[in-house]
Amino acid sequence: MAIKHYLQFSDLTADEYAWVFERAAAIKKKFKSYEKYHPLADRTLAMIFEKASTRTRVSFEAGMYQLGGSVVHLTTGDSQLGRAEPIEDSAKVISRMVDLVMIRTFGQDKIELFAQHSRVPVINGLTNEFHPCQILADVFTYIEHRGSIQGKTVAWVGDGNNMANTWLQAAELLGFKVHLSTPSGYEVDQAIAGIRSGESYKVFKDPMQACRGADLVTTDVWTSMGYEAENEARKKAFADWCVDTEMMRAAKPDALFMHCLPAHRGEEVEADVIDGPQSVVWDEAENRMHAQKALMEYLLLGRVKT
Ligand code: CP
Ligand code: NVA
């Protein structure tokens, strides 16, 4: 069987997503009822972090143990990765010893290169360009709360970053629309997002207009990891891109609010919104684990017979 990597959202088809979401729901149910499920017994996941993490680390590590497997945790600081060992060599060595690799790094080119030289599936745990595991959990969370996302509208308020790019890939693949509002100079680049056409998204200057009639409103930090030097300039540019109660009122009455977290209350989102009744951010964070367990099961075992 050819190795299946998960480097961008577009690496799975709509049909494969339908399967993974179904499995995520089934695996979550087992977890909630303390039912032992160890399909990945004796399998090992290597997690490589070149950037900080709370959710990604805990969800992959806890998730892998719950599936019966084990985990090796590496960072740039405590491995030869930080001492310029070539990515190709690291990939060849690490992938001879483990069954699956998750990487959080800077450029997408680094994870692509690692995958080219890996004998085992590689999962993107966030790059400057994409965060597919997060959108996997976000769409799963939407489905849990509201049913199919097909034909719905997602309002993106904020930076044209890794999350925005991945939402665009998901919209093109799963058949929904994204209303994008970013400050000027921070727009999404369609070529970097890797989408074929402009049909699945619409750009709005005014964030309030982007939220009008939306089924889901979502945002992210003004300054992503790796862009800290731009922090002061970004604070000025993004001042009007704060999701507030007025924006939520412009969305559909039953609209959900999501944020991948960590959040900065008073910057990209008002406390009243993220801690308010439309927010599903805690379900969203928890679902990282259930969705990624389903993803790991699929990448290693395919469509398991249940
Ligand atoms: N949302 C997310 O990826 O969180 P961490 O940076 O804590 O992993
Ligand atoms: N866009 C953010 C997401 C953090 C989970 C970043 O890349 O830092």
**pLDDT tens string 141-182:** 999 999 999 999 999 999 999 999 999 999 999 999 999 999
Which pLDDT does position 1 carry in this prediction?
A: 65
Residues 93, 161: one domain? no
Specify if 2 maps to a domain: no
Residues 38, 124: one domain? yes
Q: How many percent of the chain have pLDDT more than 90? A: 97
41, two tokens: 């017994």
Q: What are φ and ψ of residue 106, in 5° steps?
A: -90, -95
Q: Which domain holds residue 292?
A: 9-131+285-301
Which of 252, 246, 239 shows the shortest CA–CA distance to 154?
252
The pTM score is 0.98
Residues 195, 276: one domain? yes
Instruction: Give the HSE-up count for residue 184: Cα atoms under 13 Å, Cβ half-sphere.
Output: 2
Which pLDDT does position 263 carry in this prediction?
A: 98
Rounded distance between C-alpha atoms, residue 6 and residue 118, angstroms: 13
Q: Which atom of ligand 2 is nearest to the CA of 53?
A: 5
Q: How many percent of the chain have pLDDT more than 70? A: 100
How does pLDDT run across 252-295, given as a tens digit for each residue? 999 999 999 999 999 999 999 999 999 999 999 999 999 999 99
Specify if 1 maps to a domain: no
Rama region for 121: left / alpha / beta (φ>0; ψ in -120 to 50; rest): beta
Residues 118, 163: one domain? no
CB 245 within 8 A of CB 273: yes
Tell me which residues are annotated as active site: 104, 131, 134, 220, 260, 288
Residues 163, 92: one domain? no
Residues 229, 256: one domain? yes
| pLDDT exceeds 70 at position 302 | yes
The single-letter DSSP state of residue 9 is G
Specify if 306 maps to a domain: no
Residues 143, 105: one domain? no
Which pLDDT does position 165 carry in this prediction?
A: 98
Q: Ligand 1 in contact with 148 (CB < 6 A)? A: no
Q: What are φ and ψ of residue 136, in 5° steps?
A: -55, -50
The number of distinct structural domains making up the chain is: 2
- Any idea which residue has 């030289």 for tokens? 117
51 Cα–ligand 1 center, Å: 10
Residues 97, 200: one domain? no
Specify if 113 maps to a domain: yes
SS3 percent helix, strand, coil of the chain, rounded to 5, is 45, 15, 40
Q: Ligand 1 in contact with 261 (CB < 6 A)? A: yes
Residues 185, 239: one domain? yes
Specify if 274 maps to a domain: yes
Residues 172, 139: one domain? yes
The residue nearest atom 6 of ligand 1, judged by CA position, is 53
| pLDDT exceeds 80 at position 8 | yes
Q: Which ligand is nearest to the CA of 260?
A: 1
The residue nearest atom 7 of ligand 1, judged by CA position, is 54
Q: What is the CATH number of the domain that holds 147?
A: 3.40.50.1370
Q: Which atom of ligand 2 is nearest to the CA of 220?
A: 1
Specify if 155 maps to a domain: yes
Residues 254, 139: one domain? yes
Residue ranges of alpha helices (H) inside 124-255 are 132-146, 162-174, 190-193, 207-211, 231-237, 245-250
Residues 162, 258: one domain? yes
276, two tokens: 């308010």
